[in-house]
Structure 1
Protein backbone atom coordinates (compact mmCIF):
# COMPACT_ATOMS: atom_id res chain seq x y z
CA UNK A 1 0.00 0.00 0.00
CA UNK A 2 1.39 3.36 -1.03
CA UNK A 3 1.02 6.27 1.36
CA UNK A 4 0.95 9.75 -0.10
CA UNK A 5 1.84 12.80 1.94
CA UNK A 6 1.42 16.48 1.35
CA UNK A 7 3.14 19.38 3.01
CA UNK A 8 1.93 22.93 3.18
CA UNK A 9 4.44 25.75 3.38
CA UNK A 10 3.96 29.44 4.01
CA UNK A 11 5.89 31.69 1.63
CA UNK A 12 7.19 35.05 2.84
CA UNK A 13 8.57 36.78 -0.25
CA UNK A 14 11.00 39.67 -0.15
CA UNK A 15 10.03 42.97 -1.73
CA UNK A 16 11.82 42.07 -4.99
CA UNK A 17 10.08 38.68 -5.10
CA UNK A 18 6.71 40.34 -4.48
CA UNK A 19 7.36 42.67 -7.40
CA UNK A 20 8.27 39.81 -9.73
CA UNK A 21 5.22 37.80 -8.62
CA UNK A 22 2.90 40.76 -9.15
CA UNK A 23 4.31 41.33 -12.64
CA UNK A 24 3.97 37.65 -13.50
CA UNK A 25 0.38 37.45 -12.26
CA UNK A 26 -0.45 40.64 -14.15
CA UNK A 27 1.01 39.36 -17.41
CA UNK A 28 -0.74 36.00 -17.11
CA UNK A 29 -4.07 37.72 -16.35
CA UNK A 30 -3.61 40.14 -19.26
CA UNK A 31 -2.89 37.33 -21.73
CA UNK A 32 -5.84 35.26 -20.46
CA UNK A 33 -8.24 38.19 -20.78
CA UNK A 34 -6.85 39.32 -24.14
CA UNK A 35 -7.11 35.87 -25.70
CA UNK A 36 -10.57 35.33 -24.22
CA UNK A 37 -11.63 38.56 -25.92
CA UNK A 38 -10.05 37.45 -29.22
CA UNK A 39 -11.76 34.06 -29.10
CA UNK A 40 -15.13 35.54 -28.12
CA UNK A 41 -15.00 38.21 -30.82
CA UNK A 42 -14.02 35.66 -33.47
CA UNK A 43 -16.97 33.47 -32.53
CA UNK A 44 -19.60 36.19 -32.27
CA UNK A 45 -18.58 38.07 -35.42
CA UNK A 46 -17.40 35.32 -37.80
CA UNK A 47 -18.61 32.08 -36.13
CA UNK A 48 -14.96 30.99 -36.19
CA UNK A 49 -13.34 28.85 -33.50
CA UNK A 50 -9.82 29.74 -32.40
CA UNK A 51 -7.87 27.06 -30.57
CA UNK A 52 -4.78 26.88 -28.40
CA UNK A 53 -2.24 26.86 -31.23
CA UNK A 54 -3.73 29.95 -32.85
CA UNK A 55 -3.74 31.85 -29.55
CA UNK A 56 -0.15 30.76 -28.90
CA UNK A 57 0.96 32.19 -32.23
CA UNK A 58 -1.04 35.36 -31.50
CA UNK A 59 0.83 35.64 -28.21
CA UNK A 60 4.15 35.39 -30.04
CA UNK A 61 3.09 38.20 -32.38
CA UNK A 62 1.83 40.23 -29.43
CA UNK A 63 5.19 39.96 -27.66
CA UNK A 64 6.94 41.37 -30.75
CA UNK A 65 4.90 44.58 -30.70
CA UNK A 66 6.68 47.48 -28.97
CA UNK A 67 3.53 48.37 -27.05
CA UNK A 68 3.58 45.01 -25.27
CA UNK A 69 7.32 44.47 -24.78
CA UNK A 70 6.71 44.28 -21.03
CA UNK A 71 5.39 40.74 -21.58
CA UNK A 72 8.98 39.64 -22.26
CA UNK A 73 10.18 40.76 -18.82
CA UNK A 74 8.59 37.82 -17.01
CA UNK A 75 8.99 34.09 -17.46
CA UNK A 76 7.11 32.73 -20.45
CA UNK A 77 5.99 29.58 -18.58
CA UNK A 78 3.14 31.14 -16.52
CA UNK A 79 2.01 33.16 -19.52
CA UNK A 80 1.78 30.03 -21.70
CA UNK A 81 0.06 28.22 -18.84
CA UNK A 82 -2.65 30.87 -18.82
CA UNK A 83 -3.38 29.94 -22.45
CA UNK A 84 -3.66 26.29 -21.41
CA UNK A 85 -6.04 27.28 -18.61
CA UNK A 86 -8.15 29.18 -21.13
CA UNK A 87 -8.20 26.15 -23.42
CA UNK A 88 -9.27 23.93 -20.51
CA UNK A 89 -12.00 26.43 -19.59
CA UNK A 90 -13.38 26.31 -23.12
CA UNK A 91 -13.13 22.52 -23.14
CA UNK A 92 -15.16 22.35 -19.94
CA UNK A 93 -17.68 24.80 -21.37
CA UNK A 94 -18.19 22.81 -24.57
CA UNK A 95 -18.48 19.58 -22.55
CA UNK A 96 -21.21 21.32 -20.48
CA UNK A 97 -19.26 20.95 -17.23
CA UNK A 98 -18.90 24.70 -16.66
CA UNK A 99 -20.22 28.11 -17.66
CA UNK A 100 -18.65 30.27 -20.35
CA UNK A 101 -15.13 31.40 -19.30
CA UNK A 102 -15.08 34.73 -17.51
CA UNK A 103 -12.53 37.50 -17.44
CA UNK A 104 -10.04 37.50 -14.58
CA UNK A 105 -9.91 40.45 -12.19
CA UNK A 106 -6.93 42.02 -10.51
CA UNK A 107 -8.77 41.84 -7.19
CA UNK A 108 -9.49 38.10 -7.20
CA UNK A 109 -7.35 35.35 -5.68
CA UNK A 110 -3.94 35.13 -7.34
Structure 2
Protein backbone atom coordinates (compact mmCIF):
# COMPACT_ATOMS: atom_id res chain seq x y z
CA UNK A 1 0.00 0.00 0.00
CA UNK A 2 1.27 3.44 -0.89
CA UNK A 3 0.69 6.54 1.18
CA UNK A 4 0.34 9.98 -0.29
CA UNK A 5 0.89 13.25 1.48
CA UNK A 6 -0.33 16.65 0.39
CA UNK A 7 1.31 19.82 1.55
CA UNK A 8 0.19 23.36 0.95
CA UNK A 9 2.87 25.86 0.03
CA UNK A 10 2.84 29.54 0.76
CA UNK A 11 5.77 30.87 -1.26
CA UNK A 12 7.00 34.42 -0.97
CA UNK A 13 6.84 36.67 -4.02
CA UNK A 14 10.51 35.94 -4.78
CA UNK A 15 9.97 32.18 -4.55
CA UNK A 16 6.83 32.42 -6.66
CA UNK A 17 8.74 34.34 -9.32
CA UNK A 18 11.50 31.71 -9.25
CA UNK A 19 8.95 28.91 -9.72
CA UNK A 20 7.37 30.66 -12.69
CA UNK A 21 10.79 31.27 -14.21
CA UNK A 22 11.79 27.60 -13.84
CA UNK A 23 8.46 26.30 -15.16
CA UNK A 24 8.50 28.67 -18.12
CA UNK A 25 12.09 27.81 -19.02
CA UNK A 26 11.39 24.09 -18.80
CA UNK A 27 8.31 24.48 -20.98
CA UNK A 28 10.39 26.41 -23.53
CA UNK A 29 13.12 23.73 -23.55
CA UNK A 30 10.56 20.92 -23.82
CA UNK A 31 8.89 22.54 -26.84
CA UNK A 32 12.28 23.39 -28.40
CA UNK A 33 13.50 19.80 -27.95
CA UNK A 34 10.26 18.36 -29.34
CA UNK A 35 10.53 20.59 -32.41
CA UNK A 36 14.18 19.58 -32.82
CA UNK A 37 13.33 15.86 -32.59
CA UNK A 38 10.51 16.18 -35.13
CA UNK A 39 12.60 18.14 -37.62
CA UNK A 40 15.58 15.79 -37.38
CA UNK A 41 13.29 12.78 -37.86
CA UNK A 42 11.74 14.36 -40.95
CA UNK A 43 15.12 15.21 -42.52
CA UNK A 44 17.39 12.36 -41.35
CA UNK A 45 14.94 9.58 -40.51
CA UNK A 46 16.04 9.43 -36.87
CA UNK A 47 15.37 11.70 -33.95
CA UNK A 48 17.95 13.53 -31.87
CA UNK A 49 19.03 11.78 -28.66
CA UNK A 50 18.61 13.28 -25.23
CA UNK A 51 22.38 13.53 -24.78
CA UNK A 52 22.74 15.52 -27.99
CA UNK A 53 19.91 17.82 -26.92
CA UNK A 54 21.59 18.37 -23.55
CA UNK A 55 24.83 19.32 -25.31
CA UNK A 56 22.89 21.77 -27.46
CA UNK A 57 21.52 23.47 -24.33
CA UNK A 58 24.81 25.31 -23.79
CA UNK A 59 24.57 26.82 -27.28
CA UNK A 60 20.95 27.70 -26.65
CA UNK A 61 21.89 29.50 -23.41
CA UNK A 62 24.17 31.79 -25.43
CA UNK A 63 21.32 32.55 -27.82
CA UNK A 64 18.76 33.08 -25.03
CA UNK A 65 20.47 34.80 -22.10
CA UNK A 66 17.48 34.36 -19.77
CA UNK A 67 18.04 30.58 -19.70
CA UNK A 68 21.20 31.17 -17.68
CA UNK A 69 19.07 32.21 -14.70
CA UNK A 70 17.72 28.65 -14.37
CA UNK A 71 19.88 25.76 -13.20
CA UNK A 72 20.89 23.22 -15.83
CA UNK A 73 19.36 20.26 -13.98
CA UNK A 74 15.88 21.70 -14.44
CA UNK A 75 16.44 22.18 -18.16
CA UNK A 76 17.92 18.70 -18.56
CA UNK A 77 14.89 17.34 -16.72
CA UNK A 78 12.69 18.68 -19.50
CA UNK A 79 14.65 16.69 -22.10
CA UNK A 80 14.50 13.63 -19.83
CA UNK A 81 10.70 13.92 -19.61
CA UNK A 82 10.47 14.21 -23.39
CA UNK A 83 12.71 11.17 -23.90
CA UNK A 84 10.67 9.02 -21.53
CA UNK A 85 7.47 9.99 -23.35
CA UNK A 86 9.09 9.06 -26.66
CA UNK A 87 10.00 5.63 -25.26
CA UNK A 88 6.39 5.03 -24.24
CA UNK A 89 5.19 6.29 -27.62
CA UNK A 90 7.53 3.92 -29.48
CA UNK A 91 6.34 0.90 -27.48
CA UNK A 92 9.21 0.56 -25.02
CA UNK A 93 8.07 0.23 -21.41
CA UNK A 94 4.43 0.17 -22.52
CA UNK A 95 2.22 -1.17 -19.75
CA UNK A 96 -1.19 -2.47 -20.79
Matches of 2:21 and 2:29, distance apart in 1: 12
1:78 corresponds to which residue? 74
1:100 corresponds to which residue? none
Q: How does 1:13-24 map to 2 (within 5 A)?
A: 13-24=11-22
Secondary structure, in 3 states, of the residue corresponding to 1:50? coil
2:26 aligns with one of 25, 28, 51: 28
TM-score, normalising length from structure 2?
Answer: 0.87
Please report how far the alpha carbon of residue 4 of structure 1 lies from its aligned counterpart in structure 2 after TM superposition.
Answer: 6.2
List per-residue Cα deviations over 1:47-85 (Å, max 9, x = no partner).
Answer: 1321111111111211122xx010010122211111100
Give the gaps of 5 or more residues in structure 1.
98-110
Matches of 2:85 and 2:67, distance apart in 1: 23
Matches of 1:41 and 1:12, distance apart in 2: 41
Give the gaps of 5 or more residues in structure 2.
none
TM-score, normalising length from structure 1?
Answer: 0.76
Name whichever structure is richer in helix by fraction: 2
User: Over aligned residues, Cα RMSD in angstroms?
Assistant: 2.0
Return structure 1 stretches of 4+ with deviation > 2 angstroms.
Answer: 3-7
